[in-house]
Amino acid sequence: MAVGCQKTTSAERGPLLAILLFCLVLGTFLPCLRNGFVNLDDTTYAWQNPRVKQGLTWESLKWAWTNTESANWHPVTWMSHLLDGQLFGLDPTGHHATSVLLHALNTALLFLLLQRMTGARWRSFAVAALFGLHPLRVESVAWISERKDVLSAFFWILAIWAYVRYADNFKSQISNLKFFYALSLGLFVLGLLSKSMVVTLPFALLLLDYWPLRRWGQTPARRLLLEKVPFLILAAADSMVTFVVQQQGGSVTPADTLGLSARLANAVVSYARYLGKIAWPVDLCAVYQHPGHWPAGTVAGAGILLGVVTALVLWRWRDMPWLGVGWFWYLGTLVPVIGLVQVGRQAMADRYTYIPSIGLFVAVVWGAARLTERWRNRESIAWAATGAAMMACIALTVRQIGYWKDSRALFGRALDVTPNNWIAAAYLADALQFEGESDKALAMYERSLQINPQPGDVRCKLAKMLLERRRFDEALAQYQIGVSLQPGDANLRLGLGAALQDVGRLDEAIEQCNQALRLKPDEADADSNLGNCYGLKGRLDDAIRCFEQAVRLKPKSARNHRDLGVGLAREGRWDEAIGQFQQAVQLDPADAQARAYLAGATRDKAKAAPPAPH
């Protein structure tokens, strides 16, 4: 809602309003500080990450720039997590505080940026308030792993601010023109190194050139396009790196699994669903599972909605330019995550609206100001409407933050909202197992597989739980079902081989391990399991060869060194065996087995030594 359309008359009110917004958003999201970590990537980004626990060191900084964990390359985001580790250790309160502060700062900066570009103080305030307080922001702020959202948006806003300074200086030919252009490029790079979704910034800058900067018509079109070329080159390079990293990490869904028509249909439906979530933010969910294929009627309805809105926007483009800029900002900035290249298992995600929603709020607020410009008492009505919208957002946001307090609450809520959500059921099972409620976890894994029998990782977890309970036949049945459904899943074959080994069916176990290695030649666990099978059959040379390969592939695994040591000891190669046991103990000082083997090998070597001559 708009809160008036009067232009700024007293510049000193801007900073005060920015401070007010900062404090309001900070207070609204303060409950995040009571929340813990969740088992949705937080184990990778903070909770169980030894690098983050280590904090800022030369070694960890080098790792931040070279690793591709979680199928992403975002070194600036990693450095922010390392800084949190340095300051707060693994206390989630500090990690949450950083995200909350960044989001509050983004809200204040957005207000100042809009006010500078448009001169419309109260409309800028309304847009920033709706952006900062909206319940869809919760996932980006309350989820520690999504630090990349608030961090990349921080650099996005600052990059636009520098560009606006450049555009202003361009009109007046001020000497520091190149400085602000270079600053905008540098801030864009920092945004890309935080999250690749900001690749759409050049597109957004062209929209801002039209309105509110009004450079179209005043500056040659060729010049406007050439200005964006360095931004486009950086965006293209980052997009290529991101695609390769995500593909190598197994996050990109193959085209033969989800065809182009299904991805296009989901994109159309998701655009419409995001509109619904922004307008009526209830029943929000941590994971919206991908349906595979949407009903034709749903796709057609969403397409008609998008087409009608686009037609109306184009019709009023000249006299209401903010409608076009806001709408195409929304459409364009969602492109990287709309599912044309399907990454992950979700159909959509609340966090993806962080930057795109700004465009819609601009269109709505400026549009409402135009529609009500002849109303009596319009400012009072606008204040009341905006205040009501803000209060509603605050209430819904605080409630949504509560669902993120821990994994059990988060995925329990997801299942309440979407009962047939197999992804939420699997994550809830993980949480229940971690909390020691194994019976409930077992039932939840079964529920997940009843909804969707395909996921091999879920079936592996269920089968492992059955093995731990010595329910061997049921575990074998689960693995066999999984292999029949997903014959190319190396992990399922590896699990089946381990289960067959447990029941003494060694030849079948060896076959499954070899199948796993054919599918995934660099799988150290498959070599390790294969070595154990050969060892049980008395084929020591083959066993040692497999253990040596496992050590080469996974040299920091204490278990692999220990297994190799056992094989070498059985052949009487005491010095080599002792060396492997020593490495195992060095890698894992708590490995009691390795210590016992080391003591035994040392003792047996002494016994085997020939007596000293008299």
d(CA 14, CA 518): 64
d(CA 589, CA 582): 10
Q: What is the pLDDT of residues 297-311, one digit of tens each?
A: 999 999 999 999 999
Task: Work out the angle at residue 298's Cα, subtended by the Cα atoms of residues 344 and 338, and round it to the nearest 5 degrees.
Answer: 30
Q: What is the pLDDT of residues 409-453, one digit of tens each?
A: 999 999 999 999 999 999 999 999 999 999 999 999 999 999 999
Tokens 């970590």 -> residue: 37
CA atoms lying within 13 Å on the CB side of residue 360? 23
Q: Report cis status (omega within 30 of 0) of the bond before 202.
A: no
Contacts of 181 (CB under 8 A, 6+ apart): 162, 163, 166, 227
d(CA 310, CA 304): 10
Residues in the chain: 614
Provide, for the chain, the percentages of residues in helix, strand and coil under a 3-state DSSP scheme, each rounded to the nearest 5: 75, 0, 25
Q: How far apart are the first and last CA of the chain?
A: 101
With 80 as the cut, is the pLDDT of residue 6 above it?
Answer: no
Average pLDDT over residues 393-404: 98
Q: What is the pLDDT of residues 230-255, one digit of tens each?
A: 999 999 999 999 888 888 877 777 76
Note the pLDDT of residue 7: 46
CB 545 within 8 A of CB 571: no
4: pLDDT confidence band, cut at 50, 70 and 90? very low
Average pLDDT over residues 507-524: 94
Which residues face 447 on adjacent strands?
A: none
| Average of per-residue pLDDT values in the chain | 92
Q: 49's torsion region: left (phi>0), alpha (psi -120 to 50) or beta?
A: beta
Tokens 């361009």 -> residue: 170
In three-state secondary structure terms, 328 is helix
381: pLDDT confidence band, cut at 50, 70 and 90? confident
Task: Work out the angle at residue 73's Cα, subtended by the Cα atoms of residues 68 and 79, and round it to the nearest 5 degrees.
Answer: 100
Q: How many CB atoms lie within 10 A of CB 357?
A: 24
Q: What is the pLDDT of residues 445-479, one digit of tens each?
A: 999 999 999 999 999 999 999 999 999 999 999 99
1: pLDDT confidence band, cut at 50, 70 and 90? very low
Note the pLDDT of residue 434: 93
Contacts of 292 (CB under 8 A, 6+ apart): 258, 262
d(CA 460, CA 453): 12
Token pair for residue 472? 């061997």
d(CA 478, CA 162): 58
Instruction: Look up the pTM and report it.
Output: 0.91
Average pLDDT over residues 263-291: 95
Write phi, then psi, for 537 (nearest 5 degrees). Answer: -90, 0
d(CA 460, CA 496): 9
Q: What is the pLDDT of residues 57-81, one digit of tens each?
A: 999 999 999 998 888 899 999 999 9
Note the pLDDT of residue 175: 65
In three-state secondary structure terms, 90 is coil
Q: What is the pLDDT of residues 148-201, one digit of tens each?
A: 999 999 999 999 999 999 998 776 666 678 899 999 999 999 999 999 999 999
Note the pLDDT of residue 171: 65
Q: How far is CA 325 from the centre of its chain?
A: 28
- Radius of gyration of the CA atoms of the chain, in A: 29
Contacts of 75 (CB under 8 A, 6+ apart): 64, 65, 193
Write phi, then psi, for 299 (nearest 5 degrees). Answer: -65, -45
CA atoms lying within 13 Å on the CB side of residue 305? 15
DSSP 8-class letter at 38? -
Average pLDDT over residues 315-344: 93
Token pair for residue 439? 């019976």
Q: How far is CA 525 from CA 495, 521, 533, 554, in A?
A: 10, 11, 12, 9
Q: How far is CA 308 from CA 272, 315, 325, 416, in A?
A: 12, 11, 16, 33
- Smallest CA-to-CA distance from 180 within 170, 190, 166 is with 166
d(CA 101, CA 146): 14
Percent of the chain with pLDDT over 90: 80
Domains in the chain with CATH codes: 13-405 (no CATH), 555-607 (1.25.40.10)
Write phi, then psi, for 5 (nearest 5 degrees). Answer: -135, 15
